[in-house]
């Protein structure tokens, strides 16, 4: 495309809250055939909240929530923030943490009053040799919720199920991607059952779940080895390498700074519908010069 056409196109996009950082990406956009969408914060709003509390010990909801929030207080993960904001709302006073460790994409470990506690997904809890009621976990996950398992050093104490709402533009946007003939993939660190339940009804072709933060980029590489032209849309720190690797990286405007820095395009209105607008713009610019 001519520099003038690119400039006009970039300006048009910007006026609609779509920031296109380079001329190159405006030209590449129309040739994308695969679109990879992060789940939490991209398809969903990224503001999860507590849905269910299941306890396996004789303790009050508030006592359990106090312990859970205390364990999570060193975490900046949105799932942890859902628990912390509930505790704050209930004005619970948290216990102090003596040691804390976050294990990326799995959970956290904390020491309180000399006791070791774990909070995280099934894989993490199993790795620590603690058993739990799989049926309870599966039921919550099948409802599209993310079950967080809380344990002490030997036993499960309870589960907190957290869920996020799907952005109201996501379904229509994905429908438009399908109409364009794009292959639509959901990519998430969350477990398979929850991911499948969220994907249900959204017309997503492929769900890739249980992906550790460091592995999102290799999923993009694998798709590219299959000769696909890949767009990745994400919001989190763990999406940044994948955004860089993709042929086109798109960040959600309300996402983390590192995602925004790593992307070619930023969606200021946080709507996946704007991905379609950008693709259409690119297509019309390319068509005009041919």
Residues belonging to the active site = 38
Residues between 145 and 184 with contacts to ligand ADP, criterion CB under 6 A:
146, 148
Residues between 117 and 136 with contacts to ligand ADP, criterion CB under 6 A:
119-121
Quick one: tokens of 268?
């200021």
- Return the number of the residue (165 or 284) whose C-beta is nearest ligand ADP: 165
CB 247 within 8 A of CB 224: yes
- Taking every pair of C-alpha atoms in the chain, what is the biggest distance, in angstroms? 72
Three-state DSSP at 19 gives strand
> Contacts with ligand ADP: how many residues (CB under 6 A)?
22
Rg, the chain, Cα only: 21
Q: Which stretch binds ligand ADP (CB under 6 A): 28-36, 188-196, 220-228, 275-283?
A: 188-196
Q: Which does 29 bind (CB under 5 to 8 A by kind): ligand ADP, Mg ion, none?
A: none
Q: Give the span between the Cα atoms of 165 and 140, in whole angstroms.
A: 15
Quick one: tokens of 81?
């923030």
Q: Which does 148 bind (CB under 5 to 8 A by kind): ligand ADP, Mg ion, none?
A: ligand ADP
- Return the number of the residue (156 or 246) whose C-beta is nearest Mg ion: 246
* DSSP track, 124-151: HHHHTT----HHHHHHHHHTT-EEEEEE
Residues between 6 and 65 with contacts to ligand ADP, criterion CB under 6 A:
39-40
CB 36 within 8 A of CB 187: yes
- CA-nearest of 220, 222, 224 to 241 is 220
Report if residue 264 touches ligand ADP, rule: CB under 6 A.
no
Q: Give the span between the Cα atoms of 36 and 252, in whole angstroms.
A: 13
CB 211 within 8 A of CB 189: yes
Residues between 193 and 252 with contacts to ligand ADP, criterion CB under 6 A:
213, 236, 238
Report if residue 105 touches Mg ion, rule: CB under 5 A.
no
Report if residue 38 touches Mg ion, rule: CB under 5 A.
yes
Report if residue 241 touches Mg ion, rule: CB under 5 A.
no
DSSP 103: E
Where along the sequence are the contacts to ligand ADP (CB under 6 A)? 39-40, 72, 75, 77, 79-80, 105-108, 119-121, 146, 148, 188-190, 213, 236, 238
Q: What is the binding site for Mg ion (CB under 5 A)?
A: 38, 40-41, 235-236
């Amino acid at each position: 495309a001519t520099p003038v056409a690119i400039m006009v196109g970039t300006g048009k996009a910007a006026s609609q809250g779509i920031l296109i950082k380079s001329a190159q990406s405006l030209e590449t956009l129309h040739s994308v055939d695969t679109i990879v969408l992060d789940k939490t914060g991209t398809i969903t709003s990224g503001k999860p909240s507590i849905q269910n509390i299941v306890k396996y010990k004789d303790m009050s909801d508030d006592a359990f929530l106090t312990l859970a929030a205390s364990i999570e207080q060193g975490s900046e993960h949105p799932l942890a923030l859902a628990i912390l904001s509930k505790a704050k709302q209930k004005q619970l006073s948290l216990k102090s943490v003596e040691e804390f460790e976050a294990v990326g994409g799995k959970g956290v470990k904390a020491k309180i009053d000399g006791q070791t506690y774990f909070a995280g997904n099934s894989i993490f809890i199993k790795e620590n040799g603690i058993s739990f009621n799989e049926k309870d976990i599966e039921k919550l996950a099948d409802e599209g919720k993310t079950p967080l398992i809380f344990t002490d050093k030997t036993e499960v104490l309870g589960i907190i199920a957290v869920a996020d709402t799907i952005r109201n533009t996501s379904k229509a946007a994905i429908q438009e991607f399908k109409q364009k003939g794009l292959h639509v993939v959901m990519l998430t660190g969350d477990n398979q059952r929850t991911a499948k339940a969220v994907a249900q009804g959204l017309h997503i072709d492929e769900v890739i779940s249980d992906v550790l933060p460091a592995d999102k980029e290799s999923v993009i590489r694998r798709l590219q080895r299959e000769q696909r032209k890949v767009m990745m849309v994400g919001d989190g720190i763990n999406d940044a390498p994948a955004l860089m690797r993709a042929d086109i990286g798109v960040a959600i405007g309300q996402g983390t700074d590192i995602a925004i820095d790593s992307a070619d395009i930023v969606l200021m209105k946080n709507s996946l519908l704007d991905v379609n607008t950008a693709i259409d713009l690119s297509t019309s610019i390319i068509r005009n010069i041919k």
